[in-house]
Amino acid sequence: MNFLLDEVARATQRLAEAGVPSPRADAEELAAFVHGVRRGELHNVADADFDALYWECVARRAAREPLQHITGHAYFRYLELRVGPGVFVPRPETEIMVGWAIDTLRAMDVADPLVVDLGTGSGAIAISIAQEVPRSRVYAVESDPEALAWAKLNLDASGHGDRVTAHLADMRTALPELAGRVDLLISNPPYVPTDDAALIPPEVRNHDPAPALWSGRDGLGMIRELEQVGRRLVRPGGAMAVEHGDGQGIDIPHLFPEELGWCDVRNRKDLAHRDRFVVMRRADDWSGKLGEG
């Protein structure tokens, strides 16, 4: 057997014993990272090229440090993003919501759609939209200076800095100048209930920034506030998408009632067929006062 592949097998067992959810994939990804190849090219690494750094990386992963913090990058749709301590690691589930947003923007009869991404973190959502909807103008809002620094790093590397504007601001009060003008508002807000802290994997609980995770005992605190933000920013006929957690799908549509000008409120599912994000539209004929509490 190829020596490196034998080491990967041993690492897989070690990670499995440590409770890592995807031990084989992570063992291979770490080997590829250390040796500067893709996972599918590991068989091309010669025995003489084995790097002892591999076992240092495996030990970090076995201690439940996020894989993306060890390798320094995360993949999201068509992007390879820089990530590390201080920024929320983007998840595959969010890609589905972004896909819905991109399809919605493409279907709009708007030449240069105006998009707001609240709680941008690494910039994954904002940069993906700018890349895949070339005429969009995206405002990426983040309240954490450390996280915003990662977003700016990824934005500079993406080549889309001319159409994505990063803002350090509280998502609840940001961008008053855009009131009633936004074509699409999207957010992956904090939604983990503080009561569930013991159930959260250590990669998340101990490494993702706390402001990106926790939102009150039921996890819905920030989403309740985003309803008011949406009323303030989204134009009549515009759309909104908000990610949420497992088991919250039944409660969230009620937070966007028809009497406040919302329509077409629906839950959408993730890759595991679980309710993962809610979408809605501002009524075309809504005559209520913008931002009315």
Mean pLDDT of the 55-70 span: 96
Quick one: residue 139, left, alpha or beta (phi over 0 = left, psi -120 to 50 = alpha)? beta
Beta bridge partners of 182: 234
Identify the pLDDT of residue 290. 42
Answer for the pair 133, 103: CB distance below 8 angstroms, yes or no: no
Mean pLDDT of the 63-81 span: 96
Identify the pLDDT of residue 286. 58
**Looking at the predicted structure, is the pLDDT value of residue 6 above 60?**
yes
**Looking at the predicted structure, is the pLDDT value of residue 146 above 60?**
yes
Identify the pLDDT of residue 179. 97
Q: What is the pLDDT of residues 161-216, one digit of tens each?
A: 889 999 999 999 999 999 999 999 999 999 999 988 888 999 999 999 999 999 98
| DSSP code for 192 | B
Confidence label for 2 from pLDDT (cuts 50, 70 and 90):
low
Angstrom distance (rounded) from CA 204 to CA 198: 11
**Angle subtended by helix axes 53-62 and 23-35, to nearest 10:** 150
Question: Which sign, positive or negative, has the C-alpha torsion 183, 188, 193, 194?
Answer: negative
Mean pLDDT of the 277-291 span: 75
177 Cβ contact list (under 8 Å, min separation 6):
none
Tokens of 293: 């509490």
Indicate the range of 32-46, 140-154, 222-236 predicted with least confidence. 32-46
Identify the pLDDT of residue 49. 66
State the fold for domain 85-282: Rossmann fold (3.40.50)
Query: Rounded to the nearest 10 degrees, how much is the dihedral formed by the CA atoms of 21, 27, 28, 32?
Result: 130
**Looking at the predicted structure, is the pLDDT value of residue 24 above 90?**
yes
Beta bridge partners of 185: 116, 240
* Among 247, 128, 256, 240, residue whose Cα is nearest residue 187: 240
Residue type, 232: R
Answer for the pair 142, 148: CB distance below 8 angstroms, yes or no: yes
Length of the chain counted residue by residue: 293
**Looking at the predicted structure, is the pLDDT value of residue 291 above 50?**
no
Q: What is the pLDDT of residues 219-265, one digit of tens each?
A: 999 999 999 999 999 999 999 999 999 889 899 999 999 999 999 99
Residue ranges for the known binding site are 119-123, 142, 188-191
Q: What is the pLDDT of residues 88-140, one digit of tens each?
A: 999 999 999 999 999 999 999 999 999 999 999 999 999 999 999 999 999 99
Residue ranges for the known binding site for substrate are 188-191
Residue ranges for the known binding site for S-adenosyl-L-methionine are 119-123, 142, 188
Identify the pLDDT of residue 48. 59
Confidence label for 61 from pLDDT (cuts 50, 70 and 90):
very high
Confidence label for 279 from pLDDT (cuts 50, 70 and 90):
very high
Answer for the pair 186, 114: CB distance below 8 angstroms, yes or no: no
Indicate the range of 2-6, 13-17, 150-154 predicted with least confidence. 2-6
